[in-house]
Every structure is written in structure tokens, then in C-alpha cells.
Amino acid sequence: MGGAVVDEGPTGIKAPDGGWGWAVLFGCFIITGFSYAFPKAVSVFFKELMHEFGIGYSDTAWISSILLAMLYGTGPLCSVCVNRFGCRPVMLVGGLFASLGMVAASFCRSIIQIYLTTGVITGLGLALNFQPSLIMFNRYFNKRRPIANGLAAAGSPVFLCALSPLGQLLQDHYGWRGGFLILGGLLLNCCVCAALMRPLVAPQVGGGTEPRGPQRPPQRLLDLSVFRDRGFLIYAVAASIMVLGLFVPPVFVVSYAKDMGVPDTKAAFLLTILGFIDIFARPTAGFITGLKKVRPYSVYLFSFAMFFNGFTDLTGSTATDYGGLVVFCIFFGISYGMVGALQFEVLMAIVGTQKFSSAIGLVLLLEAVAVLIGPPSGGKLLDATKVYKYVFILAGAEVLTSSLVLLLGNFFCIGKRKRPEVTEPEEVASEEKLHKPPVDVGVDSREVEHFLKAEPEKNGEVVHTPETSV
């Protein structure tokens, strides 16, 4: 499969790290908020849906599951669409799909129709917005990317804190049908965010139309060569194991509190605490990762974040009262925010800009399987044992395992990496021979110096050290 990228900038384009990039960051903030918070916020309508269609909680829970499955499982499809048509057109279509799904759901007469509209159509629309926004964000930021990534990732907890009360308010005033209709109109803001994703344009030479530097060769619609990258394989395996347990505690912590005899209002407040801490944890983690001495070791910092999250789950299993669960939610919010801020930053550092669109699609596909397995497996364990403690222990063990896979895999791959046999002077001499201009052609030494200095940072990419590319 082959095809040229529509808005993928030529090799000579450098990430601006600002300017219009802040508008792109704002759009990515909103898209991230809708993508991660919407599947959870729609759960406020579940009781009314159960009464309307005469179904149980497990039936309504499939709405959120299908939304998440579409968000993760359509990753390769999004990669193909972006590499064929570009980010902005794909996001515009995605915004229309997301809105259309919720509007159509307000007219549904059965739960199956809700699955197809809210789950499949809206889920596909959110997926077609989420992945391209990250790809465009990666093109606009390089040096400031860690802190910018943390700010964009903060959209998830901010929107979760906003959409859940809004959904409850809409349900109280307009019912679930009116609430779905208004939320569908709200999702049209994804199209506005798509309009912000302006493609990078190659600089012009004089008044001509030819871009500076060599043109990028046509890119495959789905680049499977990333599977030959050991760093990507280690990341994909670790991320898939992590997702098995990462989302389990937020799903069960409220029920855990109610099982202790905590009133419903106080139990629900635990998620508010978690989300509030998460809002500040993500930008802070991004700022720390962006420090000059820390950024080369972002993979190890991500591994520590996963270890911290898993350890928090294990200690949370020992909570015996409401105060213990509050402390658990505080530390879980910190570790969860660190993971959210670092997961895509580390993937960008491993695979680089050109392969990121394909890499993120394949990673999300692998994570989709884990998303469908994780929470249901915790539910089955709870049904069998009737003890929440074991659910938290299982989740913690899975996340701890993922941190060890990333840490050990990264460490041993770096340790086994061999230095090239050719010494530096010999390499320079060979490069001079290969790129030596003809005798009758004059070359300005200042142009050569500028070219050599520009080489390590093509298209705004960071030069990968053994610490950043496994």
C-alpha cells in the first residue's frame, strides 16, 4: 500500500514549538477531553435508560465499553485515513460522526440502536478526532513537547469533572433524549478543533514555489515496519499489559466505598478528588519530563510512573475506611496523571515523527483488546470472591508487571546495543567523499556549515539517544 501524505510536512520543516502550535494544543486539549471523558460521562444516563428499555446495568454498561473499544480498536483505520487524506479532513468527518451518533441516539427505540449510534458511530467519530490531533500536535512541538503534552492530556480530567455534572443537569431538565441531543450539538465543537489543525507549510526559496531541502518519499498508508523496532515492541507489550489494570480502580472505587457503608454522595466524591489531583499532575509531569537533564530518560520516568500506579493499587487494597480510600485516590490521581502525560510522549520519542501516525494506531489496537478484558475480568473476580481487595491486587500486579517489562526491556536493549566499528574521523571522511561536490561547482562554506548543523534536527524531530529510543 502506498500513498503520499497530504499534510505531512517536507523534511526541511522544523517544529515551530509555539505560534500557531498553541492553537493546535488548545484543540488537542478539547479533543482529548471529549475522547476520554465522554465514555464515562454518558454513564449518568444509565439508570434512565434501564427504566426506559427494561434492561439491567450490565446491558447499559456495554455503551461505554463499545465507545472505548471503538476509540482504541480503530487505530489502524485512523492511521490509514490520516496518511491518505491528512489530519484536518479526517477530524472534520470525525466531528460530524460523533455529533450524528448522539443526535440519532436521541430518537432510538431499543438498546441495540443505542449501541449502534452512541457506541459505534460516536465512538468512531471520537477516534477519528483523537489520533489525528495527537499526530498534528507532534508535528508542531519538539523541544516544548513534554510540557505541551501534559497540558493537552489535562483535558481528560477537566472534561470529566465538567461533563458528568452537565449530563446530570441535562437529564434532570430534558430527560435522556434531550440530553443526548444537546450533547450531540456539543460534540460539533470537534469540527472547530479540526479547523485549528493547520498543516505546516514548507518554507519558500526566494519567490519560487519549490520547498527547501529534499522531498519526502511517498509514505505507506500503514507502516508495519515499526514492528522491526525493538523499542516499539517493548513499549507495545508494556502498554497492553498496563491497560489491563489501569482503568480498573476508578471503575470499582465508588462501589468499594459503598460496600464499606459510605453514603452515596461521599462515595461519588472520591472520583472528584481523583480527577482534581489528575488535573495538576499531568502538566507537572510534562514540565518535569521537559527538563534538559530528565528528558533523555523519559522512558525510565514512564516506567516509574507505572510502578507508582501499581504500588498505589496494592496499598489501596488495604484501605479499611473512607479516609484510607481518600488517601488512595490522591496518590492514584498523581500516578494516573503521570502515566497519562507520559504515554504518548514516550511513544513519540521512540518511533519519531514520520512513523508516529502508524505506531499510535497499532498501539491503540493492541490496547483495545486489553480495555475489553481488564474491567470485565475484575468484575468476574469480584463476583466470585465478593472481596474488592482482590480486584485492586490484581490491577496492581498487572500494572507493576508492565513497568518491569518496560524497564528491563529498555535496559537490556540499551546494554546490548553495539557501537559502530567505524571511528568518528573515518565516518567524517567517508561522508565527505560521498557528499563531495564536483570540482567545477562552487560551494559557500557558510551554507555547508548551516546544512551540517541542521541535519540532526529534521522535521522537528529529536535526535534519538540510546536513552530515548530503546
pLDDT of residue 320: 85
Of 98, 100, 114, 80, residue with least CA distance to 3: 80
How far apart, in whole angstroms, are the C-alpha atoms of residue 386 and residue 390? 9
Q: Based on the domain organization, do 350 and 252 belong to the same domain? A: yes
Task: Print burial letters for 130-144: b (CB count within 10 Å at least 16), e (below 16).
Answer: bbbbbbbbbbbbbbb
Q: Based on the domain organization, do 263 and 345 belong to the same domain? A: yes
Binning the chain into helix, strand and coil, the percentages to the nearest 5 are 75, 0, 20
pLDDT of residue 57: 62
* pLDDT tier for residue 227 given thresholds of 50, 70 and 90: confident
CA angle 312, 316, 322 (to 5 degrees): 135
Q: Poorest-confidence range of 149-163, 229-243, 422-436?
A: 422-436
pLDDT tens, position by position, 444-457: 445 444 444 444 44
Q: Based on the domain organization, do 171 and 247 belong to the same domain? A: no
Q: Are 125 and 99 in contact (CB under 8 A)?
A: yes
Please check the confidence at residue 326 and state whether its pLDDT lies above 80.
yes
Please check the confidence at residue 402 and state whether its pLDDT lies above 80.
yes
Place of cell 478543533: 193
Residue 275 lies in a domain: yes
Please check the confidence at residue 146 and state whether its pLDDT lies above 50.
yes
Q: Based on the domain organization, do 153 and 302 belong to the same domain? A: no
pLDDT tens, position by position, 263-296: 877 887 888 888 889 888 888 888 888 888 888 8
CA angle 273, 390, 404 (to 5 degrees): 80
Place of cell 489520533: 131
pLDDT of residue 58: 65
Residue range 311-328: average pLDDT? 90
Residue 210 lies in a domain: no
The contacts of residue 403 (CB under 8 Å, 6+ apart) are: 238, 242, 303, 304, 306, 307, 310
Last residue of a domain, one of 133, 165, 199: 199
Q: Are 172 and 19 in contact (CB under 8 A)?
A: no
Percentage above 90 pLDDT, the chain: 22
**Cα atoms in the 13 Å half-sphere on the side-chain side of 284:** 12
Q: Based on the domain organization, do 147 and 31 belong to the same domain? A: yes
Please check the confidence at residue 237 and state whether its pLDDT lies above 60.
yes
Count of structural domains within the chain = 2
pLDDT tens, position by position, 130-141: 888 888 888 888
Q: Poorest-confidence range of 177-186, 271-280, 377-386?
A: 377-386
Residue 200, φ and ψ in degrees, nearest 5: -70, 140
Please check the confidence at residue 180 and state whether its pLDDT lies above 90.
yes
Q: Are 36 and 154 in contact (CB under 8 A)?
A: no
* pLDDT tier for residue 126 given thresholds of 50, 70 and 90: very high
Give the mean pLDDT of the chain. Answer: 78
CA distances from 173 to 38, 108, 177, 220, 429 (A): 20, 19, 11, 50, 76
The contacts of residue 218 (CB under 8 Å, 6+ apart) are: 2, 3, 4
Q: Based on the domain organization, do 79 and 158 belong to the same domain? A: yes
Last residue of a domain, one of 398, 416, 434: 416
pLDDT tens, position by position, 193-210: 999 988 877 666 554 444
Percentage above 70 pLDDT, the chain: 80
Residue 428 lies in a domain: no
pLDDT of residue 10: 40
Residue 187, φ and ψ in degrees, nearest 5: -70, -15
How far apart, in whole angstroms, are the C-alpha atoms of residue 350 and residue 360? 11
CA distances from 297 to 133, 269, 425 (A): 25, 36, 29
Q: Based on the domain organization, do 152 and 234 belong to the same domain? A: no
Q: Are 198 and 26 in contact (CB under 8 A)?
A: no
- What sections of 106-247 are H helices per DSSP? 111-114, 122-140, 145-153, 155-186, 189-196, 230-246
Residue 213 lies in a domain: no
The residue segments making up the domain with residue 143 are 16-199
Please check the confidence at residue 438 and state whether its pLDDT lies above 70.
no
Residue range 154-161: average pLDDT? 84
User: What CATH number does residue 134 fall under?
Assistant: 1.20.1250.20
pLDDT tens, position by position, 18-69: 788 899 999 999 999 898 888 877 877 877 888 888 887 667 777 877 888 8
Residue 452 lies in a domain: no
How far apart, in whole angstroms, are the C-alpha atoms of residue 339 and residue 342? 5
Residue 248 lies in a domain: yes
Residue 74 lies in a domain: yes
pLDDT of residue 332: 92
pLDDT of residue 358: 79
Residue 270 lies in a domain: yes
* Residue 211: strand pairing partners: 204
Q: Based on the domain organization, do 177 and 255 belong to the same domain? A: no
Q: Based on the domain organization, do 242 and 295 belong to the same domain? A: yes
How far apart, in whole angstroms, are the C-alpha atoms of residue 396 and residue 402? 10
* pLDDT tier for residue 459 given thresholds of 50, 70 and 90: very low
Last residue of a domain, one of 141, 166, 199: 199
Q: Based on the domain organization, do 51 and 187 belong to the same domain? A: yes
Q: Based on the domain organization, do 252 and 337 belong to the same domain? A: yes
* pLDDT tier for residue 248 given thresholds of 50, 70 and 90: confident
Q: Based on the domain organization, do 260 and 377 belong to the same domain? A: yes
